[in-house]
Structure 1
């Protein structure tokens, strides 16, 4: 399977490493910042790096030719319909909530703020609306501790995201397709940024 990875920061790097362990071909890494640690890790591994022309949008031209699947990892850019169309299986991302609950940039913060009794993570198909594509895999992880900070909670959720991404990718390698279950809109909630100006 040929994958274009779109992402940034620590989770982008750990996703890159996980993908290499799953014996896929990483054909390109797309970043919004050429100095990001994911860009450095990709270059060190001999993987082509492309910097987005628009940090908020990934275009079809930025996806490697012959890509089977786009994977996003800590990317806040929308992957355009045209970009998704050039990948045989479209694109998937990890969201640190049980979608459709807490769609948005601050899912972990809202999980804590709302006092959710259970946390979890979801692999979803990239779509026009943020975090609203069909679910490929979700998993209830643990009870939420009100004593954990947002940073600690994000760090605790990252291994779950890597495992779920790996499971979905392995499924796709075997079956030539990805699972897809529509999200139930009646349970959708929003998780807007609680700290404007920060990601």
Structure 2
């Protein structure tokens, strides 16, 4: 399984490290910022790094030839239809909510703001609708009373992301496909950036 990883920051690097423990070959890393720590980790491992021309969009020319699966890990860029078409199985990403609830950039913050007693993570198919693609894997966790968004992310949601991404990658290797359950749009909520 040949992977192009699109991402940034700590979650990007830890996803990169997790993928190295699975039966995959990371053939390319795509970043919005050449100075990002994910770019540094990839370069140190001898993996080619591509810097996006547009930090909000990944296009086909930025996806490595021969990619079987695109994985996003803390990427705020949309993966264009042309880019997804270049990958045999398309692409997946991790979102720190029980999709379709809290679609958007501030899902964890909205989980806390709304007082949700249960949170969770979702690995979903990358699609035109932001965080709206079919669900490949999903799992819940409880929210502790008084927990901040950062505490919830570090304690439960980030580790859940690595676990679920690993499970979906293993499924893709075994089945040459991705699991898919469509999201029920009637339950979709937005999680825009909080000011």
The equivalent residue for 1:62 is 62
For residue 184 of structure 2, what is the aligned residue in structure 1?
A: 184
Correspondences of 1:58-137 after superposition (within 5 Å):
58-137=58-137
Tell me, in whole angstroms, the C-alpha distance in 2 between the residues paired with 1:95 and 1:164. 10
1-side partners of 2:13 and 2:131: how far apart?
21
Q: Which residues of structure 2 form unaligned runs of 5+?
A: none
Residue of structure 2 in register with 1:50 after alignment: 50
* Maintained 8 Å contact 1:32/1:55: yes
Determine the structure 2 residue equivalent to 1:20: 20
Give the distance between the partners of 1:150 and 1:118, measured in 2 at CA: 13
Alpha-carbon separation, structure 2, partners of 1:31 and 1:148? 31
Structure-2-length-normalised TM-score? 0.98
Q: CA deviation at 1:152?
A: 1.5
Take 1:2 and 1:61, find their aligned partners in 2: how far apart are those partners?
Answer: 17
Do 1:60 and 1:80's aligned partners in 2 also have CA atoms closer than 8 Å? yes
Cα deviation per residue 1:10-57 (whole Å; 9 max; x = unaligned)?
A: 000000000000120000000000000000000011110000000000
**RMSD of aligned C-alpha atoms?**
0.7
State the Cα distance separating 1:145 from its structure 2 match.
2.2
SS of equivalent residue, structure 1 residue 167:
helix
| TM-score relative to the length of structure 1 | 0.96
Q: Deviations over 1:154-184 (max 9, x none)?
A: 2121010000000000000000000011000
- The yes-or-no answer on 1:33 pairing with 2:33 is yes
Name the SS of the counterpart of 1:72 in structure 2.
Answer: strand
CA contact (8 A) 1:112 1:146 kept: no
8 Å CA contact 1:52–1:58 kept in 2: the answer is yes
**Unaligned residue ranges in structure 1 (runs of 5+):** none
Moved over 3 A (4+): none
Structure 1 position 150, deviation (Å): 1.8
